[in-house]
Chains A and B, each alone.
Chain A
Amino acid sequence: MGVFTKNTSKYFLRELSWNAFNFRVMKEGESLKPLDSLKFMAITSSNYDEFFMIRVAGLMRKVREGNHALPPDGTLPSVLLDKLLKEIKVVVSRQDANVCHEIFPALADNGIHITTLQDWNSRERKVAVDIFEKELFPICTAIAINKKKQFDAAISQGHIHAACLLNDGKLAIIRLPDNLDRYREYQTGNTLKIVLLEDILIAYAEKFFPGQILKSSCLFRITRDADISIDEDSDMNFLSAMEEALEGRKNGFPVRLESHGDFKLAKHIREIIDLPEENHFHLLSPLNLKSFYKLCEKSDFEHLRSPYFTSQTPWDLSESEDIWETLKERDLLFHHPYESFAPVVHMVNEAADSPITLAIKATLYRTSGNSPIVHALIRAAENGIQVMVVVEPRARFDESANLDWAARLEHAGAIVVYGLATFKVHLKSLLVIRREEDRIRRYLHLGTGNYNDVTATLYSDLSLITSNTDFTRDAALIFNAITGYSSEPKLKKLFIAPFSLRQETLRLIKQEEKRARSGEVAEILGKMNTLADTEVIDALYRASEAGVKISLNVRGVCCLRPGIKGLSENIRIISIIDTFLEHARAFIYHNGGREKVFLSSSDWMPRNFDERIEILFPISDQAHKRRIRSILESYFKDNTKSWELRQDGSWKRYKPNENQQPFRAQKYLTEIARLRAEEKTLQEKKALSVRRSPAKEK
């Protein structure tokens, strides 16, 4: 995977770098047990869904409009698009081959047989025809296609459709219903057989066309441009504007065609929708691998995947402790998912039911309606607590889901703020205000991840709870600003985008550069998802040149070109691709020995610095600082799931040599969390905790 087009460029191109990331995800999947492996292929595939809808669509729009700013290295969008699609094709065909030739056979050998039409015997046929007649035939509609316009109307974005070419040359489209189970299972002997709904549809599609013969058929899926924009100035209520835009997403121009089955027919469809050949992906494996997630979680097949993971009780807090009392004395730091998210949920639950809670304020970005946090907030509002929630309706692909539970919150009496007109609210923060006996106290949770119960077990994030008044004061000001009560806040300890985050980041890098120039030891250790901001990259180049040792763990896109003499020879970039999605943003600046440690919701990319409300917050507790350092350092010791970026843009995968012990950071962090939890249980057992009511005063 090459990731740049010009050898002289100082930056790698973002889109190509992203594709290299998805390649790494796929590669990681290749080495796993079959069900895990399938999951990684599904992730790769679902990543592409988003990537096509936004980034590829964006490039295509630029090419169509012909009026655009050049990327940093001057590469034309058309040239980039061409190269990008070629490289994507390499990854997708390998992913396709993996699924068909490696994973499905391996599953079949181990008791899960995902059948194809060709494999069907009489038993399968019997099952299939039954399902077709009872379920599919009554609800599916075949739509004859004469003109392109009809075609557009008949196709829904992202859904699987069957195309049927009849002997009179007519074309008809049938949409695969998405409210029916896609997998039909039945047990034969030791094997679980799975028949796919789309195969059933194709197998008996002829029944929709009495008196006709089905000449050929294929399955296909169209992805459209989905970068929605809303006219913020229009008089329309924001929510209706949003809903209208979501409606409009169905009609964006096509950016990708995936097909399975008869290639000639698929090609015909591509011609109808007027899509270049490069955007067409004809696959052997089933379409929309994302829906295979559920299969990967299937019980009774533990031997086909890595053991189920459980989060541990956090080191910082025991179950018996009163979280409010503890917080009066110290901050709490959690490392998810190694440590459970439960204390945060617990805190919000307690607050929701407590009569002394005055208000709860939270930003919710990509939260599910089932999230226990949302449930707690709804309950709090019903209990008469002022609940103020900033919902970001523009969190991509979750828009309609967001609007739904936001309405439920509003119904319960919460004040719901639908984001800001110009900035997406991306910071994750929750503030509980309590009227305690002696005074009003505030408790603040700040995290690098979303309040989402599902991703909390899959993403690796760091979060902090504190009652430090400098923090809570700043947070209250931030909430007042993003809920419209107050204008731009002046903050003491926290830095927020788009006001001070970029400046502070540049300042911190500059400080290290200055120290290096005056001969001091200078070091930056960081972790983020994306590094794409050229101003920050240039600052890092200057720092590197001055002698600052820079080690960055960048999971995904990295536009910085490391290891070039006179430019970036002191910069090392690694990427960890493992079971948990690396999602935390953490930064350590050496600061002449008095380390400055920060956590953030923000990546180092222009979008985060300039177009979003993001937060950068310092860690003050010495033990927490040490802990974050040891976490960041562990990634650089990893020699099994780690990749290093080379100066030519390729990524080298680490493998332990004979003399080295294999070291895997995520496994190490899991172990650490487990050991600490055990140690803690032991301590608590030793402590004689006596259960009785308090002594009566005489």
Chain B
Amino acid sequence: MQKQEIIAIIDIGSSAIRLLIAQSRPSSEWDLVDSAERSLALGRDVFRNGSIDRKTINRAVAILKDFMELMAPYGIDRIVAIGTSALRESENREVFINRVLLQTGIEVAVIDGVEANQLTWLAVREPLEAVCADFKHYKSMIIEVGAGNTELMILRKGNIMASYALPIGALRYLQRIDSKVDGSVEETFRHHASRNIRGISHELDLSKISKLLAIGSDARLVASRLGKSLSPQMDVIPLAAFREFIKEIETYNSDELVEHLNLPWNEAELLYPSLIILNEFVESTRADEIFVHSGNIRQGLLVNYATGHSALREIFSTQVIESSRGIAKHYRANMKHAEFVRKQAIVLYNKLNTELDLKDRLLLESAALLHDIGTYISAENHHKHSQYIIQNSDIFGLSVADKEIVGHIVRYHRRSQPRNSHTSYMKLDRRSRIIVQKLAALLRIADALDRSHTQSVVISDLKAGNKKLTIFTAYAGDISMEKLSLAEKSDFFENLFGLKILLRN
């Protein structure tokens, strides 16, 4: 019998700290062994003051100490602690993370919203397609309204086109309204939410969305009361019933919500505002029903996160490519050139021993697709514009750190090479710099091979040896432009790989 691995996952969210203890099964599934949840007003502090109060930090430490005691008998092999939106946004998150480390030995990692989205999609895809086969035929959306953020994923043909972590959340809004309320809080809230969301919906062009999946505890609560069960994991709420329910609970105060819906206090307070936000988004689309995932997907997500992304990557590579393509198109890149460079870059990557892993190849592909998007702003310095756009776009499947790397690969696809005076480059850690250098070198070669933007010089064969990399092409036409370009751009490659590049037809 193989030894079971037992992991503890600590999730530091906007309104609570959760603990999950899970054990591995031979089938590579995970069993939940124990769990606990304590409320912690991290979001309240951060969304109001921008930082976490000392009291809250003390309480967090106390809770985590309790959790350590609860974990003690299980013989935990590994503790994975993550913080999400509230912690990410707080100005003093380093103080928080340090205090926690010093006093409990727990190392908290901050994950970004998009990274969380990938995990979500992984969890809902199968059950969703099982009950709604045509989900992927429509432009569709997955939405989760949280205390601090609303996470949106836009899908087309079953692929994630875009994903957003919008700073719209019940708690975040309530904190703002709290400080300047005159008149009914509900009323103010509704106006506020409505104005903001209408604007965003228009920008995101949500009116074309016709299928909708909601996740999160509030949606689940509504589904459990008015939803129709489609499968053990999937419910559907007709839009009319949803509207009626909102009207109904509008008349209740928190006390009555606790009473009528049998809710814990902290959830009752946020239920109405959360549903208002959800409703505003729903009303911006043309969907007439809301699918709801009835399981606690957060648990699955966290276990997935903690147990490594290897399975995840494969699924996501297509998503990353799709999402990069979407952005390239959005900025009117020359798609033929972009795709051509991507393919050639893969060929080069596969031939050479880069000592990088598959995830990095994906970054190269994304960079290849996006390297010229900066020309949307201006051809001059377009590599810098490209970098800026990449680092500030939501590319589904790429974390903030990933986008940094992709941005820098693109930054160095033209003439200039990394230098000590490039502060943004110098901010990258050592490994990231090596990735940037190697992948930028490959991108430069691949780009040079299509200097004419005619997609003529297709690599037919590659030979490495005798300090040379010989690229063969079947193209019989004029390749002088590519040769010239290679001469300009290959020095970086030669320095790195110790191979001189020759182009033969």
Contacts and interface: CB of A to CB of B under 8 A. Distances in A.
B37 A440 contact: no
A9 interface: no
A410 to B, nearest CB: 14
With a 10 A CB-CB cut-off, give which of A437, A440, A500, A503 has the most chain B CB atoms. A440
Contacts of A157: none
B4 A358 contact: no
Nearest to A437: B1
With a 10 A CB-CB cut-off, give which of B19, B33, B72 has the most chain A CB atoms. B33
Contact of A476 (B6, B34, B37): B34
Contacts of B28: none
Given A438-B1, A439-B31, A440-B4, A485 B75 contact: no
15 contacts: A358-B74, A358-B75, A359-B74, A437-B1, A438-B1, A439-B25, A440-B6, A440-B74, A473-B32, A476-B35, A480-B35, A480-B36, A485-B69, A486-B37, A486-B38
Contacts of A358: 73-75
Interface in A351-371: 358-359
B70 interface: yes
Contacts of A433: 73
B85 interface: no
Interface residues on A, range: 20 to 34
A505 to B, nearest CB: 13
A486 B26 CA distance: 30
Given A386-B72, A485-B38, A486-B19, 8 more contacts: A435-B75, A438-B1, A439-B23, A485-B69, A486-B35, A487-B38, A487-B264, A488-B264
Interface in A479-501: 480, 484-488, 490, 499-500
With a 10 A CB-CB cut-off, give which of A484, A485, A503 has the most chain B CB atoms. A485
Nearest to A488: B264
Interface string B15-44: 010010001011000011111111100000
B73 A359 contact: yes
A477 B36 CA distance: 7
Contacts of B23: 439-440
Interface string B44-79: 000000000000000000000011011011110000
A557 interface: no
A425 B25 CA distance: 35
B70 A485 contact: yes
A438 B23 CA distance: 10
B310 interface: no
A-B pairs with lowest CB-CB distance, top 6: A486-B36, A386-B73, A359-B73, A358-B73, A488-B264, A485-B36
Nearest to A483: B70
A192 interface: no
Contact of B33 (A437, A440, A486, A500): A440
Interface string A416-436: 000000000000000001010
Contacts of A439: 4, 23, 25, 31
B416 interface: no
Contacts of A391: none
B34 to A, nearest CB: 5
B291 to A, nearest CB: 22
A490 B72 CA distance: 23
B5 to A, nearest CB: 11
A70 to B, nearest CB: 24
Contacts of A173: none
Contacts of B31: 439-440
A415 interface: yes
A424 B479 CA distance: 87
A41 interface: no
A385 interface: yes
A675 to B, nearest CB: 42
A484 B4 contact: no
Interface in B102-121: none
A503 B262 CA distance: 8
A484 B67 CA distance: 10
Contacts of A490: 264
Contacts of A415: 69
A484 B63 CA distance: 9
Interface residues of B, number: 28
Contacts of B34: 476, 480
Contacts of A484: 66
A685 to B, nearest CB: 37
B66 A485 contact: yes
Nearest to B259: A503
A601 B32 CA distance: 27
Given A486-B37, A487-B38, A500 B262 contact: yes
A486 B39 CA distance: 8
Contacts of B39: 487
A2 to B, nearest CB: 37
A480 B34 CA distance: 9
Interface string B249-280: 00000000000001010100000000000000
Nearest to B39: A487
Interface string A427-468: 000000101011110000000000000000000000000000
A190 to B, nearest CB: 61
Nearest to A384: B73
B37 A487 contact: yes
A486 B264 CA distance: 13
Interface in A100-143: none
A437 B32 CA distance: 17
A480 B74 contact: no
Contact of A385 (B19, B69, B73, B266): B73
Contacts of B66: 484-485
B314 to A, nearest CB: 28
Contacts of A500: 262
A476 B33 CA distance: 9
Nearest to A503: B262
Nearest to B6: A440
Contacts of B6: 440
A443 to B, nearest CB: 14
Nearest to B67: A485
With a 10 A CB-CB cut-off, give which of B19, B31, B70 has the most chain A CB atoms. B70
Contacts of A477: 35-36
Contacts of B38: 485-487
B252 to A, nearest CB: 16
A277 B39 CA distance: 55
Nearest to B35: A477
Nearest to B72: A386
A415 B69 CA distance: 10
A262 B33 CA distance: 68
With a 10 A CB-CB cut-off, give which of A385, A477, A488, A499 has the most chain B CB atoms. A488
A391 to B, nearest CB: 17
A643 to B, nearest CB: 37
A593 B195 CA distance: 53
Contacts of A476: 34-35
Nearest to B21: A440
A586 B249 CA distance: 35
Contacts of A437: 1
A440 B23 CA distance: 8
B417 to A, nearest CB: 54
B207 to A, nearest CB: 36
A433 B6 CA distance: 14
Contacts of B69: 415, 485
With a 10 A CB-CB cut-off, give which of B37, B75, B262 has the most chain A CB atoms. B37
Nearest to A484: B66
Contacts of B35: 476-477, 480, 486
A476 B73 CA distance: 14
A387 to B, nearest CB: 9
B415 to A, nearest CB: 59
B256 to A, nearest CB: 14
Contacts of B16: 487
Contacts of A480: 34-36, 70
Interface in B449-492: none
A213 to B, nearest CB: 69
Contacts of B32: 473
